[in-house]
């Protein structure tokens, strides 16, 4: 009997614990929000009071307990109730909504206390509200009224450091009785001092319900950008303007904008913003390659055993979320006995998440000239983590490379095995037949002198290559046009596949990369006007300057337009190729 009693006690305690955990889980899953259809009402007129209960697990949701409020009165204590089910963040939730009619009675600012709602035996309280009761015919000043629809630029951080990734969302807020049919951008992102990536193609605008000062609004992110400040100073973000076609259901007391319920075009504009960008502190340890964000760095060789004359790649992969487009190449201590070449850069971006991430790869090509075992020493790199506001030091381990002699590259000798002679007029003077034939032929002397010219030319080319490999500025200038042509060929392929926006983005990138490489300036962060200012001192032909400006404007227009009306980018690709070929001989 004692064992049974003890067992019952244990089961009872466990049941209490389980029920307590379940209750806590339900408590965490219940949200009660009160809102008004508008934050003012005239004496004798009515306004709607909504109480919305959202729960993930609920079997019984009671009506709100209505408080006594002086200055307004409930027209009826029986609400209009609606129940809906929806999915939020992969979870199915129940949304129970109660609607009451309030009538203005006395002039003044009236406080509406929180209302209690019972859900599965537990009480939950809503937020408090304020409503202004006005005399008949009066309206509150426009400054005190929140607009029925407005556009806002929302930034993930307003006090960043130089190079930090900032997510800039262009968000529209509108009342739930308004429908947005479509919109187009009138003035898009064009701010100096920033490098940015458009993430709008990977983002789908979805409306969600929010409460602003007790008012129920719908919120939708229209466009998303990842921006990176390139200078440490106060940087201005210009307003973003769109034109939207909207329609609203007729309601009592509506403003003139939506009073008749018809569709019309309106212009919406965000406010101008100023970002106070801070400079980065100096790292205590490690080489800084302008890396800001949550980044991981790895380094390896594509081969660890090669022969003389063969090439090996030192591959550095930088992955994560951060300023991948602004990263500099790490500078390694390459041992002697290798010829080095301009490294190749490759970047792959992932825009599908709420931030921009990806991988940037540097491939440095080395050609072995000596036999032996060589070591590229370990290297410490500094990465500034903007979340912790501190530097992280990443140590890259040393790399060992073995270079062997090529067994097939041997110098050998051979003999004809005979020595033929012929008599000349019975005189005892003998010559070889080869002497008599070769020395009288012109090509014999050409073949004798040609190796000398080849040797001199090879030496000069080798000296030039050594000079180029040691001068990064000269490297950039020498391959600027080659890289630009490569991007334009890629633009042609995108155009043929119907990816017009990507094609124009590559035209713009090819032009910017060419100009910055030829003039040995930074590779990103320039606006269209700054690119023109860079080129203008070197070009006397103003017509070509105008053509370049028109080309860049067209690229920006197509890239950021919501609807692409251009059928093909072929003509602009040819225009860009012609301009860059002409500029190649001028920008020195």
* Greatest CA separation for the chain: 147
Contacts of residue 368, Cβ cutoff 8 Å, sequence gap at least 6: 306, 307, 308, 309, 310, 311, 312, 337, 338, 403
**What average pLDDT score do residues 322-333 get?**
90
What does the pLDDT read at residue 230? Answer: 86
Look at the alpha carbons of 168, 174, 176, 181 in this order and tell me if their dihedral is positive or negative.
Answer: negative
What does the pLDDT read at residue 249? Answer: 72
What does the pLDDT read at residue 349? Answer: 87
Q: Is the pLDDT of residue 25 over 70?
A: no
Q: How do residues 545-584 score in pLDDT, each as one tens digit?
A: 888 988 888 888 887 666 667 778 888 898 899 888 888 8
pTM beyond cutoff 0.95: no
Can you count the helices (H) and strands (E) in the chain? 9, 32
Which of residues 190 and 13 earns the better pLDDT score?
A: 190
Q: Is the pLDDT of residue 456 over 60?
A: yes
Question: Is-contact 72 123, C-beta < 8 A?
Answer: no
State the Cα–Cα distance between residues 46 and 512, nearest whole angstrom.
60
The residues facing 132 across adjacent strands are: 40, 109
CA distances from 554 to 39, 241, 383 (A): 46, 18, 37
The residues facing 198 across adjacent strands are: 225
Mean residue pLDDT across the chain: 79
- HEC readout, 382-415: EEEECCCCEEEEEEECCEEEEEECCCCCCCCCCC
DSSP 118-165: EETTEEEE---EEEEEE-TT----GGGS--SEEEEEEES-SS-BTT--
What does the pLDDT read at residue 429? Answer: 44
CA distances from 309 to 11, 373, 475, 563 (A): 79, 15, 22, 53
Look at the alpha carbons of 63, 65, 67, 68 in this order and tell me if their dihedral is positive or negative.
Answer: positive
Q: How do residues 55-79 score in pLDDT, each as one tens digit?
A: 887 888 888 988 888 888 888 888 8
Q: How do residues 359-392 score in pLDDT, each as one tens digit?
A: 999 999 998 888 999 999 999 999 999 889 999 9
Give the model's confidence band at 433: pLDDT under 50 very low, under 70 low, under 90 confident, else very high: very low
| Spacing of C-alpha 558 from chain mean position | 18
Per DSSP, helices labelled H in 187-345 are none
Choice among 163-177, 308-322, 509-523 with the minimum mean pLDDT: 509-523
Question: Is-contact 272 238, C-beta < 8 A?
Answer: yes
User: Hey, is 519 helix, strand or coil?
Assistant: coil
What does the pLDDT read at residue 419? Answer: 37
Choice among 225-234, 413-422, 428-437 with the minimum mean pLDDT: 413-422
**What average pLDDT score do residues 40-61 get?**
83
Q: How do residues 332-360 score in pLDDT, each as one tens digit?
A: 999 888 888 878 889 998 887 778 899 99
Give the model's confidence band at 89: pLDDT under 50 very low, under 70 low, under 90 confident, else very high: low
Percent of residues, the chain, with pLDDT higher than 70: 79
Number of Cβ atoms within 10 Å of the Cβ of 555: 25
Give the model's confidence band at 400: pLDDT under 50 very low, under 70 low, under 90 confident, else very high: very high
**What average pLDDT score do residues 530-536 get?**
85
Question: Is-contact 162 278, C-beta < 8 A?
Answer: yes
Which of residues 466 and 368 earns the better pLDDT score?
A: 368
State the Cα–Cα distance between residues 95 and 80, nearest whole angstrom.
14
Question: Is-contact 268 149, C-beta < 8 A?
Answer: yes
| Spacing of C-alpha 332 from chain mean position | 28
Choice among 126-130, 143-147, 415-419 with the minimum mean pLDDT: 415-419
Q: Is the pLDDT of residue 260 over 90?
A: no
Give the model's confidence band at 24: pLDDT under 50 very low, under 70 low, under 90 confident, else very high: very low
Q: Is the pLDDT of residue 268 over 60?
A: yes
Percent of residues, the chain, with pLDDT higher than 90: 19
Q: Is the pLDDT of residue 37 over 50?
A: yes
Beta strands 399-404 and 305-307 are parallel
H or E segment to which residue 306 belongs: strand 305-307
Question: Is-contact 517 476, C-beta < 8 A?
Answer: yes
Domains of the chain are 23-141 (2.60.40.10), 146-276 (2.60.40), 287-404 (2.60.40), 474-584 (1.20.120)
What does the pLDDT read at residue 289? Answer: 92
What does the pLDDT read at residue 403? Answer: 92
Q: Is the pLDDT of residue 21 over 60?
A: no
What does the pLDDT read at residue 142? Answer: 56
Q: Calculate helix-pair angle for 542-560, 528-535, nearest 10 degrees.
A: 160
Question: Is-contact 325 342, C-beta < 8 A?
Answer: no
The residues facing 187 across adjacent strands are: 241
State the Cα–Cα distance between residues 553 and 531, nearest whole angstrom.
12
């Amino acid at each position: 009997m004692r064992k049974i009693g003890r067992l019952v006690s244990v089961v009872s305690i466990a049941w209490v614990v389980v029920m307590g955990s379940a209750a806590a889980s339900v408590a965490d899953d219940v949200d009660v929000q009160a809102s008004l259809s508008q934050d003012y009402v005239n004496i004798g007129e009515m306004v709607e009071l909504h109480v919305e209960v959202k729960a993930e697990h609920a079997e019984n949701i009671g009506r709100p307990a209505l408080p006594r409020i002086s200055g307004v009165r409930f027209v009826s204590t029986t609400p209009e109730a609606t129940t809906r089910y929806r999915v939020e963040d992969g979870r199915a939730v129940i949304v129970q909504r109660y609607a009451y009619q309030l009538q203005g009675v006395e002039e003044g600012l009236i406080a509406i206390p929180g209302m209690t709602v019972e859900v599965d035996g537990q009480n939950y309280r809503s937020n408090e509200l304020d409503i202004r009761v006005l005399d008949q015919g009066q309206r509150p000043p426009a400054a005190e009224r929140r607009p029925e629809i407005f556009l806002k630029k929302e930034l993930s951080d307003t006090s960043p450091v130089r190079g930090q990734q900032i997510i800039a969302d262009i968000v529209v807020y509108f009342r739930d009785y308004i429908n947005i049919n479509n919109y187009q951008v009138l003035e898009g992102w064009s701010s100096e001092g920033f490098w940015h990536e458009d993430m709008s193609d990977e983002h789908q605008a979805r409306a969600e319900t929010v409460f602003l000062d007790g008012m129920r609004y719908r919120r939708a992110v229209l466009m998303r950008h990842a921006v990176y400040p390139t200078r440490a100073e106060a940087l201005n973000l210009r307003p973003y303007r769109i034109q939207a076609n909207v329609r609203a259901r007729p309601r009592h007391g509506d403003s003139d904008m939506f009073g008749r319920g018809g569709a019309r075009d309106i212009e919406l504009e965000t406010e101008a913003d100023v970002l106070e960008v801070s400079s980065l502190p100096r790292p205590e340890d490690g080489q800084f390659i302008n890396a800001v964000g949550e980044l991981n760095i790895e380094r390896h060789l594509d081969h660890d055993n090669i022969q003389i004359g063969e090439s090996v790649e030192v591959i550095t992969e930088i992955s994560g979320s951060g300023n991948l487009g602004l990263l500099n190449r790490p500078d390694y201590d390459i041992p002697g006995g290798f010829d080095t070449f301009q490294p190749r850069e490759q970047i792959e971006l992932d825009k599908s998440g709420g931030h921009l991430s990806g991988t940037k790869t540097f491939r440095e090509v080395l050609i072995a000239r000596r036999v032996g075992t060589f070591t590229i020493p370990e290297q410490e790199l500094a990465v500034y983590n903007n979340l912790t506001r501190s530097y992280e030091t990443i140590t890259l381990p040393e790399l060992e490379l073995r270079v062997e002699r090529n067994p097939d590259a041997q110098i050998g000798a051979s003999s004809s095995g005979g020595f033929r002679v012929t008599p000349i007029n019975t005189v005892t003077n003998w010559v070889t037949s080869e002497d008599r034939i070769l020395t009288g032929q012109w090509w014999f002397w050409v073949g004798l002198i040609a190796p000398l010219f080849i040797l001199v030319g090879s030496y000069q080319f080798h000296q030039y290559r050594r000079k180029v490999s040691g001068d990064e500025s000269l490297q950039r200038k020498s391959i600027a046009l080659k890289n630009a042509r490569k991007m334009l060929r890629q633009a042609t392929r995108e155009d043929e596949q119907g990816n017009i926006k990507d094609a124009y983005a590559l035209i713009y990138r090819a032009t910017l990369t060419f100009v910055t490489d030829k003039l040995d300036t930074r590779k990103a962060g320039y606006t269209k006007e700054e690119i023109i200012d860079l080129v203008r001192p070197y070009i006397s032909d103003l017509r070509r300057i105008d053509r370049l400006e028109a080309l860049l404007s067209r690229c920006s227009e197509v890239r950021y337009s919501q609807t692409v009306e251009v059928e093909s980018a072929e003509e602009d690709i040819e225009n860009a190729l012609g301009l860059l070929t002409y500029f190649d001989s001028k920008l020195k």
